[in-house]
């Protein structure tokens, strides 16, 4: 008779009761495990989140239940062939450098593409940050019903926006150059009047009349700076002419320029920034997108409104406020209802708050004209 413990390793833990079984007996009763058949319901990817970069891209796919079914890293050359072969899905990406280009490329293959601001994606990043987790957060955020999306720009809009960006950079360089010449001249006892316009008029005459205070080397340096100033002025005139031409030929720009306080610069900048005005529910949402509404800190049922939020595009907000200031200068000569409202607001709240209020009103009017495709109709007195 064989013992129940025959063939058992002495180092094995003791067994008790019905579980006492030798290795030999276990080998006799063990049956091969048959492979399980795959489920006929194959998990299909419906959402793809892509973390964009210059050379390396990370993608995470989810099914309709939110379960991750795909995770992969792509090079720049491999991304488009993968998207081309992919069945139609919802693609989410962050609104960053190159996002509009990739969104247009993905759309050509029939995919629905949505852009999101990075600050709205950040709450969905779990634990420590890396590219794969960023792509997972994008895939999860794009499915949220309350998520706010960024309209995708076309190539023409990006052309206009590029003109504005280059022009703004040149203005900054011109201002820095004028300030530098002011400071250097002061070291030689030469004082120039403030402002670019006065500098443009007086710098040549000032250098010629005060040349006795300058050495030969300093004279040469200042004339080189004047030549640099003239070159910047020439470049600025070129870009200004391009924007003026676009404003006179673009139907949406012509419509927006009928609003008091909106000229060619503001009109072209708005058309370049707003792809689809109907993405905003109403004019107040559009004004809030531009940062022209008060910040709110309400708690316990007590409403507390602060200064304007200053969110969104600072360049657009600056143009709208400057245009509002221009209309305030001539408000005393007009008798229409809009001018009367502005005069009463000036008396109660001052110029700065009035300028912001007028910019807010203009932003709402812009939204109304872009969505209704009508010209501005001023209300008579």
Which CA distances in Å does 180 have to 99, 167, 269? 38, 20, 30
For residue 34, pLDDT over 60 is answered with no
The residue with tokens 């004279």 is 219
pLDDT of residue 350: 86
Residue 334 has pLDDT above 70, yes or no: yes
Q: Which has more confidence, 30 or 133?
A: 133
How does residue 3 score in pLDDT terms, banded at 50, 70 and 90? Answer: very low
pLDDT digits (tens, 9 = 90+) for 310-331: 777 889 999 999 999 999 888 8
Residue 13 has pLDDT above 80, yes or no: no
Q: Which residue has the tokens 């499915």?
A: 143
Residue 39 has what pLDDT?
A: 37
Could you read off the pLDDT of 254-287 as tens digits, one per residue?
Answer: 999 999 999 999 999 999 998 788 888 898 988 9
In the predicted model, is pLDDT for residue 6 greater than 50? no
Q: What is the mean pLDDT of the chain?
A: 85
What is residue 28's predicted lDDT score, i.e. its pLDDT?
46
What is this structure's pTM?
A: 0.79
**Per-residue confidence (pLDDT) for residue 381, from 0 to 100:** 63
Distance of CA 334 to the CA centre of its chain: 38
Q: What's the pLDDT at 26?
A: 42
How high is the pLDDT of residue 110? Answer: 92
Looking at residue 230, what is its pLDDT?
A: 95
Residue 23 has pLDDT above 80, yes or no: no
pLDDT score recorded for residue 127: 82
With 70 as the cut, is the pLDDT of residue 348 above it?
Answer: yes
Q: b/e map of 20-40 (b: 16 or more CB within 10 Å)?
A: eebeeeeeeeeeeeeeeeeee
């Amino acid at each position: 008779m064989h013992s129940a413990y025959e063939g058992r390793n002495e180092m094995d833990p003791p067994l008790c009761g019905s579980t006492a079984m030798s290795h030999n007996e276990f080998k006799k009763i063990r049956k091969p495990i048959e492979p399980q058949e795959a489920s006929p319901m194959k998990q299909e990817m419906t959402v793809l989140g892509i973390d964009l970069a210059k050379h390396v891209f990370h993608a995470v796919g989810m099914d309709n239940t939110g379960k991750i079914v795909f995770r992969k890293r792509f090079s720049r050359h491999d991304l488009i062939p993968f998207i081309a072969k992919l069945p139609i899905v919802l693609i989410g990406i962050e609104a960053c450098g190159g996002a509009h280009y990739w969104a247009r490329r993905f759309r050509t293959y029939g995919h629905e593409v949505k852009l999101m601001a990075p600050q709205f994606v950040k709450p969905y990043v779990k634990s420590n940050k890396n590219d794969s987790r960023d792509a997972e957060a994008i895939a999860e955020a794009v499915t949220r019903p309350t998520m706010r999306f960024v309209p995708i720009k076309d190539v023409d809009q990006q052309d206009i926006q590029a003109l504005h960006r280059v022009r703004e950079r040149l203005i900054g360089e011109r201002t820095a150059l004028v300030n530098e010449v002011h400071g250097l001249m002061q070291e030689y006892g030469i004082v120039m009047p403030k402002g670019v316009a006065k500098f443009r008029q007086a710098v040549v005459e000032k250098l010629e009349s005060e040349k006795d205070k300058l050495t030969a080397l300093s004279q040469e340096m200042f004339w080189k700076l004047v030549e640099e100033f003239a070159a910047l002025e020439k470049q600025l005139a070129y870009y200004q002419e391009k924007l003026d031409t676009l404003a006179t030929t673009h139907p949406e720009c012509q419509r927006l320029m009928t609003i008091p306080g909106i000229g060619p610069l503001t009109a072209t900048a708005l058309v370049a920034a707003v792809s689809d005005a109907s993405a905003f529910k109403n004019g107040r949402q559009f004004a809030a997108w531009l940062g022209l509404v008060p910040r709110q800190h309400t708690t316990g049922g007590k409403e507390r409104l602060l200064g304007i939020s200053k969110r969104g595009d600072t360049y657009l907000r600056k143009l709208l406020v400057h245009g509002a200031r221009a209309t305030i200068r001539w408000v005393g000569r007009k008798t229409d209802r809009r001018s009367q409202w502005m005069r009463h607001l000036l008396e109660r709240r001052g110029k700065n708050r009035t300028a912001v209020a007028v910019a807010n009103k203009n932003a709402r009017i812009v939204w109304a004209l872009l969505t209704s495709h009508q010209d501005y109709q001023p209300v008579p007195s």
